[in-house]
């Protein structure tokens, strides 16, 4: 019986390894749900790296298994093994292949970083510092007026900025974010709202101006595939577009002290109508003079403004509630 050539076995093994690695690399479920415009870019890069990793694993482990069987010590064989001092072509091969892979992945990662906006985090309009005099959440209630200041006074020059498509365009929404031990504070300069959670509308180009009061923190939203350090005295930026309404965890990914593990909050991505309702409700609740808020005459409010505080508990938008009132 004629022996199958080694080259043919190698070809078959290569086809099998390629098919398996591509299928696993493109059909894994290791990543959380995508919820930002930047997420597919990161996932595409991760899938390529995972495919290559699977292929290398199968080749290395498969070779080990084959050699264990093919060159095992037979019973009664006490002779020495074949003396092999080296194989220059093989050494060049296993050095060149990883080198090429690393270079290609490096070029690909730079392209992804550029498309996400990593090459131009600066150059955007930046609002001045704002101070919140009334707490917007239970977390913010423990802070003094000085501690509630969240906006850096210098335009950020580090981080993920505008993508090539949005270069030189102002963001739709700017939020100043401050990390403290052990909480995140979110200040909306345009509306004066301060919150312990990040609320944004879906599809909006959002710019977060990050800063830290005490130590280094890291603002990480796994579903957005975005992470950016918040540095004391050095403002940083994170710019993104959320694509899917929902509630997603925000995690501090930098060891910042004894209660680092509890430094968590959430980002809530609203529909435009829900976001307008949330903004209106919180603007009224966080007026700097509570006497003015109590003394507001309902007759001076539009139907949407009057109904806005009730829409959150009812789980419907202000527009829907207004239509129900008008129809009756």
Query: Where in the chain are the domains?
Result: 8-66+92-116, 140-280
Q: Which two tokens stand for residue 239?
A: 């710019």
Strands 173-180 and 198-201: unpaired
pLDDT at residue 44, rounded to an integer: 94
Cα separation, 291 vs 300, in Å, equals 16
Please state the φ and ψ torsions of residue 135, each to the nearest 5 degrees. -65, 140
Rounded Cα distance, 295 and 289, in Å = 10
In the prediction, which pLDDT does 298 show?
59
Give the E-state strand segments of the chain in sequence order. Answer: 158-160, 173-180, 183-188, 193-195, 198-201, 205-212, 217-221, 226-230, 236-241, 246-252, 264-270
Query: What local confidence, expressed as pLDDT, does residue 86 receive?
Result: 82
pLDDT of residue 149: 44
CATH architecture of 140-280: Sandwich (2.60)
The per-residue pLDDT string of the chain (328 residues; one tens digit each, 9 = 90 and over) reads 457 787 888 889 889 999 999 999 989 989 999 999 999 999 999 999 999 999 999 999 999 998 899 888 888 888 887 888 888 888 998 899 999 999 999 999 999 999 988 876 654 444 333 333 333 333 333 344 434 444 444 556 688 888 888 778 898 999 999 999 999 999 999 888 999 999 999 999 999 999 999 999 999 999 999 999 999 999 999 999 999 999 999 999 999 999 999 999 999 999 999 999 999 888 888 765 555 545 455 566 666 666 666 665 566 666 665 665 555 5
- Other C-beta atoms within 10 Å of 45: how many? 17
């Amino acid at each position: 019986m004629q022996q199958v050539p080694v080259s043919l076995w190698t070809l078959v093994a290569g086809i099998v390894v390629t098919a398996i690695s591509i299928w696993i690399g493109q059909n894994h479920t290791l990543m959380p749900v995508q919820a930002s415009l930047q997420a597919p870019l990161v996932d595409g890069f991760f899938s390529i790296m995972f495919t290559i990793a699977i292929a290398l694993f199968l080749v290395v482990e498969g070779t080990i298994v084959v050699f264990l069987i093919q060159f095992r010590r037979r019973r009664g064989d006490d002779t020495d093994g074949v003396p092999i001092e080296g194989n220059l072509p093989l050494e060049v091969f296993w050095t060149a292949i990883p080198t090429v892979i690393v270079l290609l992945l490096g070029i690909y990662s730079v392209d992804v970083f550029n498309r996400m906006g990593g090459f131009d985090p600066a150059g955007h309009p930046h609002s001045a510092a704002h101070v919140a005099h009334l707490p917007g959440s239970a977390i913010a209630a423990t802070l003094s007026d000085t501690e509630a200041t969240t906006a850096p006074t210098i335009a950020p020059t580090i981080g993920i900025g505008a993508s090539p498509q949005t270069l030189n365009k102002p963001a739709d929404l700017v939020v100043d974010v401050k990390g403290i031990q052990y909480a995140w504070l979110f200040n909306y300069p345009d509306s004066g709202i301060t919150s312990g959670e990040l609320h944004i509308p879906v599809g909006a180009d959002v710019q977060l101006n990050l800063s830290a009061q005490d130590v280094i923190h890291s603002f990480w939203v796994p579903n957005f595939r975005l992470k950016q350090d918040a540095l004391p005295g050095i403002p940083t930026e994170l710019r993104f577009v959320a694509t899917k309404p929902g509630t997603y965890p925000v995690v501090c990914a930098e060891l910042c002290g004894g209660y680092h593990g509890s430094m968590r909050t959430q980002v809530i991505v609203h529909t435009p109508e829900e976001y307008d309702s949330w903004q209106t409700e919180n603007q009224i609740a966080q007026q700097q003079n509570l006497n003015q808020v109590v003394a507001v005459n309902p007759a001076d409010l539009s139907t949407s403004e009057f109904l806005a505080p009730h829409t959150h508990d009812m789980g419907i938008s202000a527009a829907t509630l207004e239509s129900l009132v008008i129809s009756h």
